[in-house]
Amino acid sequence: MKRLSPYILLFILLLCSCGKIDRAEFESHFRTGVEAFAGGDDEKAMDAFIAAEACCPEDMSSVELGVMHVYKGDIYSRVYDYENAVESYRQGADMLLSCGDTAKYHRAVTMICEAYIQSGDSEQASKYMDILASAASQLGKKELQLYKMLKIKLADPSEIDSLIEDYLMDFTDPADVEWRILAHYQLLAGNTDDAFEAIKKEAEYRDVSSDQNYFAVLSEVKKQQGDFKAALAALERSYQIDDSLEVAAASSNLRFAEDLHKDRQEYAMELSIRNIYLLGILTILVFLVFAFRETHKRLLSATEEKVHMQIEKERVEKLYSDALIERDALSKMAEATAPNPEMKLVIKERLALLNKVIASYITDSSSANKEANAQIEMLVSNREAFLESTRKSFEAGHPRFMAYLRSCGLSDWEVNYCCLYLVGLNGKEIGEYINLKRHYTYGSVIRQKLGLGEHDRNLANHLKNMLENPPA
């Protein structure tokens, strides 16, 4: 018993240290994150915020922690990951409200609205707008300006003029106005002249030389004015400022940073427990090695066979799962309004094949029915050919639209990705269908090539509009 006492004591000390709040360490990581964010180093900022969060227990509540979650939401928004952005903003808003900091709480709510608008979920955005509307008299100047801009983004075209007029009344310095965004919504309202004046002011008060969104809006303004030469020049300049690869890399790095930190936490906990029980585990292992040496030799062959069978079983089950995912996606495509009859025929034929092999798999043993397994494997493996058929159907029925996508620099794979949007799938469903864990990076790249900025319409709606009204 005396031999074990040092280990028991160590265990108690570790348990006590796990619940300790290192306030100084938290504040150090938090300051590092804020400074990195201000300097544009999102990856370093995310690393610092994750480290700061790890210093706090789940029940810790502070204004700084709430602000930190809002910063994380801003970083996710920059890489178009609006799902994680909303989650971070919500965490920050809840904590700021519980701490009684209503000004920062209202700012967080405006960012939740903005993230929902950019993701195309106007219904959810409107719910949070109701919170801001009920507290409009309490909003600070900056939060009130953000609120009025959100009203513009959610308004019907007939309401935009009056809302923009109301928005501009809050500014004494025209350099503070988001003229590019106003120009975009003036275009939606059909006010080409006002949009032109707004986009001119954007260039007057800001350095737009590397602003891809500015040139995209300018191109549309010039197009509406009938100045097609200037519109083309602005569009070409927008393409030249192509930072899509940088955006995709940043998104990947941020996800990697968060995953890596979680792995480190788990490893640290495992290491602590392992050190406590190391001597006892080693003693047991030595005993087991000598006791089961001969048994292991006899069972080795049988174990290898079982492992092989298990691997094969898991492989077949994965193929079956992929086939089910594709069947569900194709069923949704078949129910949606197809672009042309040829496309609908291609979908129905492949859906029929999938249903046939899935039925064969279900009615027989998954390991014994080799024919059914082979059919499922063949169908899953040639999904690429189906995507090619989908694209060719669109090329036959909508040549101008497909030519427009090509003119924007989209690859065959990126065009295939767009076609899946047009047959009725959303971003998450497309990711599952093409088996891409980071499908959002494709969406970011395509948005950049099509000239869509952070505050412009979502990709699906833009593609559908271009399909109906392809550029000349």
pLDDT(463) > 90: no
In a domain, 63, yes or no: no
In a domain, 343, yes or no: yes
- The dihedral through the CA atoms of 28, 104, 213, 438 has a sign that is positive
Sorting pLDDT into bands at 50, 70 and 90, what band is 267?
A: very low
The answer to whether residues 358 and 378 touch, using CB atoms and an 8 Å cutoff, is no
pLDDT of residue 18: 45
User: How many Å apart are CA 129 and CA 33, to the nearest integer?
Assistant: 29
pLDDT of residue 34: 92
Reported as a single tens digit per residue, the pLDDT across 327-360 is 776 676 666 655 566 666 767 777 676 676 676 6
- Over range 52-63, report the average pLDDT: 75
CA 295 to chain centre: 52
Q: Which residues of 180-205 are buried (b: 16+ CB within 10 A; e: fewer)?
A: bbbbbbbbebebbebbbebbebbeee
pLDDT(49) > 50: yes
Sorting pLDDT into bands at 50, 70 and 90, what band is 369?
A: low
CATH of the domain at 194: 1.25.40.10
pLDDT(377) > 80: no
Tokens of 344: 């609908």
What is the DSSP annotation of 112-176?
Answer: HHHHHHHTT-HHHHHHHHHHHHHTGGG--HHHHHHHHHHHHHHS-GGGHHHHHHHHHTT-S-GGG
The answer to whether residues 376 and 361 touch, using CB atoms and an 8 Å cutoff, is yes
pLDDT of residue 16: 47
In a domain, 351, yes or no: yes
In a domain, 55, yes or no: no
| Whole-structure pTM value | 0.49
User: How many Å apart are CA 100 and CA 107, to the nearest integer?
Assistant: 13
Sorting pLDDT into bands at 50, 70 and 90, what band is 278?
A: low
| Same domain assignment for residues 315 and 454 | yes
In a domain, 100, yes or no: no
Task: Write down the H helix ranges in 336-368.
Answer: 341-363
pLDDT(82) > 80: yes
pLDDT(6) > 60: no
Rounded to 5°, the CA angle 126-132-138 comes to: 170
pLDDT(3) > 80: no
Q: Percent of the chain, pLDDT > 90?
A: 14
| Same domain assignment for residues 325 and 229 | no
Tell me how many domains the chain contains: 2
What single-letter DSSP state applies at residue 39? T
**Helix, coil or strand: residue 177:** coil
pLDDT of residue 249: 45
Q: 9 or 461, which is more confident? A: 461
Tokens of 250: 């940043």
Structural domain span for residue 217: 172-241
Could you tell me the CA-to-CA distances from 292 to 278, 286, 297 in Å, in that order? 21, 10, 9
| Same domain assignment for residues 419 and 300 | yes
Per-chain mean pLDDT for the chain: 77
In a domain, 463, yes or no: yes
Tokens of 415: 């065009």
Reported as a single tens digit per residue, the pLDDT across 98-135 is 898 988 899 999 999 999 988 888 899 889 888 888 88
| Same domain assignment for residues 382 and 463 | yes
Residue length, the chain? 472
Q: Closest Cα to residue 60, out of 29, 34, 99?
A: 99
pLDDT of residue 414: 87
- The dihedral through the CA atoms of 188, 194, 197, 202 has a sign that is negative
User: How many Å apart are CA 336 and CA 345, to the nearest integer?
Assistant: 13
* Phi-psi domain of 409 (left: phi exceeds 0; alpha: psi -120 through 50; beta: other): left
pLDDT of residue 318: 67
| Same domain assignment for residues 318 and 209 | no
| Same domain assignment for residues 230 and 373 | no
| Same domain assignment for residues 303 and 235 | no
pLDDT(248) > 60: no
In a domain, 233, yes or no: yes
φ, ψ (nearest 5 deg) of residue 24: -65, -40
pLDDT(221) > 80: yes
In a domain, 131, yes or no: no
